[in-house]
Amino acid sequence: MPTAQTISSTPLITFIITAYNLPPDMLKTCVESIERLSLAMKEHEIILVDDGSDIPAIDNLPDHADHITYIRQAHQGLSAARNMGLRCATGQYIQFVDGDDYLIQAPYGHCLDIVRYQNADIVIFRETSNNKPSIPLEYDGPISGVTYMHRNNLRASTWGYIFRRSILGSLRFTSGRLHEDEEFTPQLMLRAERVFTTSAEAYFYRKRPESIMRKTSKRHVAKRLSDMVDIILKLQSVANSGPEIDRVALNRRVAQLSMDYLYNTIKLTHSRKHLEEAVDTLRRHGLFPLPKKNYTKKYTTFRALVGNPIGRRILLATIRKDNP
């Protein structure tokens, strides 16, 4: 029979907020969304990692400073900020929150109930941009992380998960890398034995033009694509060195990321030359042609088109380029 978590002096959950030059009202909304949750003071801790903002982020939170562990570091990027938060966290569970987003009280409370009563390793929930949470709130599980990856497309964003801190082991984010979640989340999932999924739209995600992933300079685009390749090869290496069941799960993720890499090469460069170079890069590592699998309709269609020169020309003609 499900039981509540054992009472201890250890907080149930640590919220790690990362911030860099954010509008004060957004960061305040983020912090207040956590404070409104159905958690006693001793059940949670809030760690705010300020990644070198021009004005210390805590200066904009005078009414909340006593309840926050504030860490200010030189600007090193999101991965380093999250790693710092993990280093200082003491909670049984971890929740990452980007400082310009916030948690929605009722659906996130549902996620916390799964944590409390189902002994979850990971709870997967949904994000929204309309602040009108869907009902009813349902959940499925448990299944292992490997089984989940066999059956589903993995959403990489780490803020879409509550996870047990003890399953991390030595896993951390690679500093300085874009798309860092794509490398981190699959490896986290492999460590989980009890994964629950819920329909709860518990995380409010703001689409901001200032976001680093919306930059379109040639230098930034080149780094995005280069980092995607590095992540694909890292996961391929992990797959090749792991047990068969993990390998099958990771191979699906590698294939999907390879598709995303080719798609983003088209969308970000709209260059036939760059697309052919991307194809050659994957081919050199045994990742092209993409595996003949029916993962999703989108994957199957894209695989068929990108696998030949005529299809690649069709993709270049039909996929719109991102513009500044």
Report helix angle 218-241 to 244-269, nearest 10.
170
Q: Which of 155, 185, 204 is the last residue of a domain?
A: 204
Same domain flag for 163 and 132: yes
Closest CA to 297 of 125, 149, 153: 153
Segment 117-142, tens digit of pLDDT: 999 999 999 999 987 766 778 999 99
Summary mean pLDDT of the chain: 94
Pairing label, strands 13-19, 44-50: parallel
Residue 3 lies in a domain: no
Question: Virtual CA dihedral for 265, 267, 271, 276, nearest 10 degrees?
Answer: 30
Is residue 8 over pLDDT 90? no
Residue 1 lies in a domain: no
**97 within 8 A of 171, measured Cβ to Cβ:** no
Task: State residue 300's pLDDT score.
Answer: 97
Q: Which of 204, 236, 252 is the last residue of a domain?
A: 204
Same domain flag for 162 and 229: no
DSSP assignment, residue 312?
H
**51 within 8 A of 70, measured Cβ to Cβ:** no
Residue 302 lies in a domain: yes
Task: State residue 324's pLDDT score.
Answer: 46
Task: State residue 85's pLDDT score.
Answer: 99
Same domain flag for 21 and 81: yes
Q: What is the mean pLDDT of residues 181-187?
A: 98
9 pLDDT band, cuts 50/70/90, is confident
pTM to 2 decimals? Answer: 0.93
Task: State residue 320's pLDDT score.
Answer: 87
Segment 245-260, tens digit of pLDDT: 999 999 999 999 999 9
Same domain flag for 60 and 154: yes
**205 within 8 A of 129, measured Cβ to Cβ:** yes
Which residues in 50-69 are b (16+ Cβ under 10 Å) and which e? bbbbeeebbebbeebeeebe
Same domain flag for 219 and 196: no
Same domain flag for 157 and 284: no
In this structure, the chain runs to a length of 324
Same domain flag for 51 and 188: yes
Residue 6 lies in a domain: no
Task: State residue 130's pLDDT score.
Answer: 84
2 pLDDT band, cuts 50/70/90, is very low
Q: Which domain holds residue 223?
A: 215-318
Same domain flag for 226 and 312: yes
3-state secondary structure of 92: coil
Residue 324 lies in a domain: no
Is residue 6 over pLDDT 50? no
CATH of the domain at 24: 3.90.550.10
Same domain flag for 174 and 222: no
Same domain flag for 170 and 52: yes
Residue 42 lies in a domain: yes
Same domain flag for 154 and 228: no
Task: State residue 309's pLDDT score.
Answer: 97
Residue 33 lies in a domain: yes
Distance, in Å, from the CA atom of 259 to the CA atom of 261, rounded to the nearest integer, reads 5
Q: Which of 171, 204, 237 is the last residue of a domain?
A: 204
Number of independent structural domains in the chain: 2
Q: Which of 144-153, 173-182, 315-324 has the lowest mean pLDDT?
A: 315-324
Q: Which of 60-69, 201-210, 282-291 has the highest mean pLDDT?
A: 282-291
Task: State residue 132's pLDDT score.
Answer: 73
Q: What is the mean pLDDT of residues 182-209?
A: 95
Residue 205: phi and psi, rounded to 5, are -105, 125
Residue 93: phi and psi, rounded to 5, are -125, 160
Distance, in Å, from the CA atom of 192 to the CA atom of 190, rounded to the nearest integer, reads 6
Residue 323 lies in a domain: no
4 pLDDT band, cuts 50/70/90, is very low
Same domain flag for 112 and 250: no
Q: State both tokens at 6.
A: 């054992």
**228 within 8 A of 257, measured Cβ to Cβ:** yes
DSSP assignment, residue 264?
H
